[in-house]
Amino acid sequence: MSDFGALKDNLSTFPDYFSAQDFFFQNGLTDGLPIVPPVLELVGPMLAMTKREPGDVLGIVENRTSGITVEQAAVCAVMAGALPSYFPVVLAIWEAIFDPGFNAGAVLGSSGGAAVTAVVSGQYARQIGMNSEKNLFGPGNRANATIGRAIRLGLLNALGYRVGELDGAAFGNQARYTSAFAERTPPPGWMSLNARLGYGADATTVTVAPTDAPRQMTHILSGDAENVLKMLTASMQDGSHCAAGRGTTFFILLGPEHTAILHEAGWTIDAIRDRLSESSRVLPEFLEAAGAPLREDRLPVEHGDRMELRADGTLPTADAGDIFVVTAGGTGAGWSQVLFGYAPRAVFRAVTREVVLP
């Protein structure tokens, strides 16, 4: 980055801190929480974390004229409370969002109210202090909280995803404030997500998908791997969600206890994915019991995706390739979490980008 000259074209001066906060609120520039005023002294170091110029456009939403510049992304990161060291992760998430496969133009403004969830895998996540363990979605970790918030503020302020403009969310959810976490180091023999996706040992990646808020899966009844897998299957088979019968992307966060049970029983992550893909298939009777019976006009196409009955009469909930299993979370009674892609798999796909360090 050569200089901060362009920033000086966008400077505004306020009499004090409180009037600056009022300005951001009054102009709809916040997510409802106070922001860190993006003073030049904070924006400059953020921009120093990339070799890209402030005016560079990180991406344009397909079929739209609007995108976000490096400068705008940096200002939103400052407003979110992020440290400069987080900015390379923020930039990688933006690049994933602008991948056509993410289908930003459709998913970001959907009435389904998707959160933009980012799984960060690799050593840089640890280096900047991202939380992969206790309370990773909860309050208390600056990196997790502010990386996701930086994205949401960018969606609001640069891309126009706000109510009354492009955001059609009927309810929204808390994960729309921020939804980013790090992968916990997997046990010996299990590959981390970035390695499974083909990246080198030194690489750090973000895998980004539009999701619902996380759902907790409780299994404290036995140390049996088969029971853990059955309960994960039950979590995925939610007849009230569009995944059942059509398929979607899943982020499955295996807590330490469940990780240990499955690992010690000899399961690999690939085998877990295959198993869950198979066991989560549903019968038409399942959908009927959930109040979503198959009808002639919903088969074979529903919401643009094929509802293909296999020879055994079942329908998919997730292809194995759409199930992202990661180790995460802290020790407890026996918890894991499941994040559903917010829409059927025909609408979007999870996108991975490598974090580029300056």
Tell me which residues touch other proteins (CB under 8 A): 7, 10-17, 19-20, 27-29, 37-40, 43, 61-66, 69, 71-72, 75, 103, 105-107, 109-112, 156-162, 164-170, 301-305, 343, 346-347
Q: Is the dihedral of CA 314, 315, 320, 323 positive or negative?
A: negative
Complex with other proteins: residue 29 or 234, whichever CB lies closer: 29
The strand ranges marked E within 142-199 are 180-182
Q: How far is the CB of 21 from other proteins (least distance, A)?
A: 10
Report d(CA 80, CA 10) in Å as an integer.
Answer: 18
Complex with other proteins: residue 6 or 203, whichever CB lies closer: 6
From 18, 21, 17, 82, select the one nearest 47 (Cα to Cα): 82
Q: How far is the CB of 103 from other proteins (least distance, A)?
A: 6
Q: How far is the CB of 166 from other proteins (least distance, A)?
A: 5
Complex with other proteins: residue 180 or 347, whichever CB lies closer: 347
From 340, 341, 323, select the one nearest 107 (Cα to Cα): 341
Complex with other proteins: residue 87 or 199, whichever CB lies closer: 87
Q: How far is the CB of 303 from other proteins (least distance, A)?
A: 5
Residue 353: which H helix or E strand, with range? strand 351-354
Query: Is the CB of residue 39 less than 8 Å from the CB of residue 79?
Result: no
The answer to whether the bond into 300 is cis (omega within 30° of 0) is yes
Q: How far is the CB of 2 from other proteins (least distance, A)?
A: 17
Print burial letters for 142-155: b (CB count within 10 Å at least 16), e (below 16). bbbbbbbbbbbbbb
Complex with other proteins: residue 252 or 287, whichever CB lies closer: 287
Complex with other proteins: residue 165 or 224, whichever CB lies closer: 165
Neighbour-count burial of 309, counting CB atoms closer than 10 A to its CB (0-12 exposed, 13-18 middle, 19+ buried): middle
Complex with other proteins: residue 39 or 271, whichever CB lies closer: 39
From 201, 148, 195, 200, select the one nearest 176 (Cα to Cα): 148
Complex with other proteins: residue 120 or 347, whichever CB lies closer: 347
Tokens of 203: 């690489």
Complex with other proteins: residue 80 or 261, whichever CB lies closer: 80
Complex with other proteins: residue 181 or 342, whichever CB lies closer: 342
Q: How far is the CB of 73 from other proteins (least distance, A)?
A: 10
Single-letter code of the amino acid located at 342: Y
For helices 70-80 and 40-47, the axis angle rounded to 10 degrees is 120
Q: How far is the CB of 345 from other proteins (least distance, A)?
A: 11
Q: How far is the CB of 76 from other proteins (least distance, A)?
A: 9
Report how far Cα 221 is from the mean position of its chain's Cα atoms: 30
Q: How far is the CB of 46 from other proteins (least distance, A)?
A: 10
For helices 70-80 and 142-157, the axis angle rounded to 10 degrees is 130
Report d(CA 173, CA 350) in Å as an integer.
Answer: 20
**Number of other residues whose CB lies within 10 A of the CB of residue 356:** 16
Q: ∠ at Cα 186 (265, 328), nearest 5°?
A: 100
**What residues pair up with 336 in beta bridges, in sequence order?**
217
